[in-house]
């Protein structure tokens, strides 16, 4: 890094310490209309920067189309690499991280961006349920049943009981980004069951961060969303243990569960 630069006025150019800014990376789908806004709202406002790149994606949102992003992740991560070092990088697609596989996602991003913690929304949700002590969950997705089924299998394979699974049946993630607050609330209340210990609102494109607090108030249960869980995991992995905004639900009051400390999500 240049340290001896001199301006035209003859005064030395001074630089801030590179570590003064906590940098996070975000790999968003080309069609994603929600993730960037949600992360900026939920991560600390001071001394934090989010650097975003996009990965090609073609609707409809089907398992096959989601899976096609896998080979593209390393190149997307390479576009982020010059902005690092990063506290964490998030691949912002819940359904794709499930069908591609968390480990494959981490390997591809590490190939492009180096050794950095990688957060996936599905993996972050698992940590969130652990932190909240929830083992039985009600799930709402905006996807079709075909696209939702791998997510149900993902949670079940990791020991979570699903008390009810509701799908909105949408196939274009740009439509998912336009679902109204009231529709999300109504669908979440319908998905809830008396024996559910938490409610999961899947999809980084769904603007559910807006309504987490209201759903929690109406159900008396913690609510986890894809973008909320990702932001919480990134903040904790990034060293912001005391970042505890109250408007995004109970999760932000929780630390990472012990086995996850220092690990990628």
Task: Provide the CATH number for the domain around residue 233.
Answer: 3.40.50.12500
Are 189 and 241 members of one domain? no
Lowest mean pLDDT, pick from 12-26, 37-51, 57-71, 207-221: 12-26
Indicate if 48 and 106 belong to the same structural domain. Answer: yes
Beta-strand ranges (E) seen in the chain are 22-29, 48-55, 88-91, 118-119, 136-141, 161-167, 198-201, 223-225
Task: Give the model confidence (pLDDT) of 186-214 as tens digits.
Answer: 999 999 999 999 999 999 999 999 999 99
**How large is the average pLDDT for residues 33-60?**
95
State the residue range of the domain holding 93. Answer: 22-120+229-245
Tell me whether residue 257 is in a domain: no
* Close Cβ partners of 91 (under 8 Å, ≥ 6 residues apart): 27, 73, 97, 105, 109, 118, 119, 120
User: Is there a single domain that holds both residue 101 and residue 136?
Assistant: no
Grade residue 69 by pLDDT with cuts at 50, 70 and 90.
Answer: very high
Question: What's the whole-number average pLDDT of the chain?
Answer: 93
Residues 166 and 205 in one domain: yes
164 in the same domain as 112: no
List the beta bridge partners of residue 136: 161
The whole-number pLDDT of residue 264 equals 47
Per-residue pLDDT at 19 exceeds 90: no
Shared-domain flag, residues 206 and 87: no
Residue 129 in contact with residue 135, Cβ under 8 Å?
Answer: yes
Average pLDDT over residues 101-115: 96
Query: Is 264 inside any structural domain?
Result: no
Tens digits of residue pLDDT in 117-155? 999 999 999 999 999 999 999 999 999 999 999 999 999
112 and 145 assigned to the same domain: no
The count of domains in the chain is 2
Q: Same domain, yes or no, for 220 and 127?
A: yes
Is residue 80 located within the same domain as residue 140? no
């Amino acid at each position: 890094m240049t340290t001896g630069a001199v301006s035209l006025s003859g005064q030395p150019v001074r630089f801030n310490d590179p570590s003064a800014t906590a940098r996070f990376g975000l790999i968003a789908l080309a069609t994603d209309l929600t993730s960037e806004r949600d992360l900026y709202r939920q991560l600390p406002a001071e001394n934090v920067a989010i650097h975003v790149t996009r990965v090609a994606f073609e609707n409809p949102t089907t398992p096959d189309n989601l899976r096609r992003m896998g080979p593209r992740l390393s190149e997307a991560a390479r576009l982020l690499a010059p902005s690092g070092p990063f506290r964490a990088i998030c691949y912002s697609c819940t359904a794709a991280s499930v069908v591609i596989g968390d480990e494959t996602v981490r390997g591809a991003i590490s190939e492009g961006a180096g050794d950095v913690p990688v957060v996936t929304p599905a993996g972050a949700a698992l940590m969130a349920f652990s932190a909240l002590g929830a083992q039985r969950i009600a799930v709402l997705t905006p996807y079709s049943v075909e696209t939702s089924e791998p997510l149900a299998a993902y949670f079940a394979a990791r020991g979570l009981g699903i008390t009810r699974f509701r799908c909105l049946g949408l196939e274009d993630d740009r439509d998912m980004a336009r679902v109204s607050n009231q529709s999300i609330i109504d669908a979440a209340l319908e998905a809830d069951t008396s024996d559910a210990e938490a409610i999961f609102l899947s999809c980084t494109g769904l603007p559910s961060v807006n309504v987490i607090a209201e759903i929690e108030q109406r159900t008396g249960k913690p609510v986890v969303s894809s973008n909320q869980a990702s932001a919480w995991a990134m903040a904790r992995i990034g060293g912001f243990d005391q970042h505890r905004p109250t408007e995004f639900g109970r999760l932000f009051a929780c630390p990472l569960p012990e086995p996850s400390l220092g690990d990628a999500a």
